[in-house]
Amino acid sequence: MAEIELKNLTIDFAGFKAVDNVNLTVRNGEFVVYLGPSGCGKTTTLRCIAGLVKATSGDVLFDGRRVNDMSASERNIAMVFQFVSLYPHLKIRENIVFPLKARGVPRAEIARKLDWVVGIFGLAADLDRYPASLPPGARQKVALARAVIREPAVLLLDEPLSAIDEQFREEMRWELGHLQRELDVTTIYVTHDQREAMSLADRIVLMSDGRIVQVGEPDRIFFEPENVFAGQFIGSPSMNLIDLVPVDGGLRLGDSGVTLTPARNRIPQWAVTSRRKLKLGVRPLNVHLVEPGVPIASSLAVDDVFSVGRDRFFNFSIGGNAYQGVDKRPNRTTPAEAVHFVPEGLLFFDAETGRRVTGDAA
């Protein structure tokens, strides 16, 4: 294992800052997931940690040792890419032990390590097969086994599941998390898929435009996003973001005519008296359908109610903009023309900066 530290890391490509002054510490044995849209700098950061891309400025440290000038082979890392690159003419056992043979490791040691990784990855029945005969998920497991058989200090994974069909991806996602815990190796994983990030990560590093937006445990980023980007990028369906208009005694939801008040809707008093222009952020799971006449409800137009698997959602409109909520009513045959915002799920964002605002900040 190794602790990885990035200090003021900047990577510039002909005037374009792909990575802009990034600072981060990845602890020993931690599973950190870099998450963000395409082009945000997450893969470039990973490749710099691997030694495949040179930093323009700043430092990469392994266990406190600066490794900027060390080659990838000197850093004791293993990397698995999006597309599996196994040798098609070699059997699975030969693919797995290839890095050890290339280094001249003694046969007895190769046999010991092969037994070790085969047991971890459950590949004993496939050792004498060729890669083409395995399903995509199994081929990716072989690539992972080949990567870890050298017992690297750091395991780097660049979207390793994105090329696998969805039916295999769910299984591999669970297995990958289990394997990382068993291997206890410091792991950095790059993805644009928030489901992978939320299910695998000890911590998520959310990136946008070459910079770190937020670092934290999955639940914290989901429930306490630091800005509008984090709130809307994480979560499916995305967080509702609604303009707030100050009026006497409360905050009106856009031009809906519906006003949230401290007494009825338990919104904080500071939000009502704040001089900032605010937006309300509320996740669909905190917006419920209720029957007309419920005191805490707001009379908003419900456009549609629909099911996705076991979940039942609804759409509602404010000023021509569509938003979503979750229908949790036990009796769904009664009319549902009112919407309830769960007070504990209400977040407030500065309309100009996009930063989340709390009572202390206000």
| pLDDT tier, 131 (very low <50, low <70, confident <90, very high otherwise) | very high
| pLDDT tier, 285 (very low <50, low <70, confident <90, very high otherwise) | very high
* 231 inside domain: no
Three-state secondary structure call for residue 7: strand
Question: How far apart (Å, rounded) are the C-alpha atoms in residues 261 and 109?
Answer: 70
- Tens of pLDDT, residues 69-86: 999 989 999 998 877 788
Same-domain status, 126 and 218: yes
Cα–Cα nearest to 205, from 36, 87, 75 = 36
Same-domain status, 59 and 190: yes
Give residue 97's pLDDT. Answer: 95
Print the domain residue range for 137. Answer: 4-226
Question: How far apart (Å, rounded) are the C-alpha atoms in residues 326 and 334?
Answer: 16
* HSE-up of residue 356 (Cα within 13 Å, Cβ side): 18
Q: How many C-beta atoms surround the C-beta of residue 157 within 10 A?
A: 27
- Tens of pLDDT, residues 15-34: 899 999 999 999 999 999 99
DSSP bridge pairs for 77: 154
Give residue 293's pLDDT. Answer: 59
Tokens of 223: 């429930």
Average pLDDT across the chain, whole number: 89
Q: Spell out the residues 6+ positions from residue 113 whose beta carbon is closer than 8 angstroms to its own.
A: 97, 100, 105, 149, 151
Same-domain status, 209 and 326: no
> How many structural domains are present in the chain?
2
Residue 214 and residue 226 in contact, taking contact as beta carbons nearer than 8 Å: yes
* 233 inside domain: no
* 159 inside domain: yes
The pLDDT of 107-119, averaged and rounded, is 92
- Tens of pLDDT, residues 194-252: 989 999 999 999 999 999 999 999 999 999 999 999 999 999 889 999 999 999 889 99
Residue at which a domain ends, from 185, 201, 226: 226
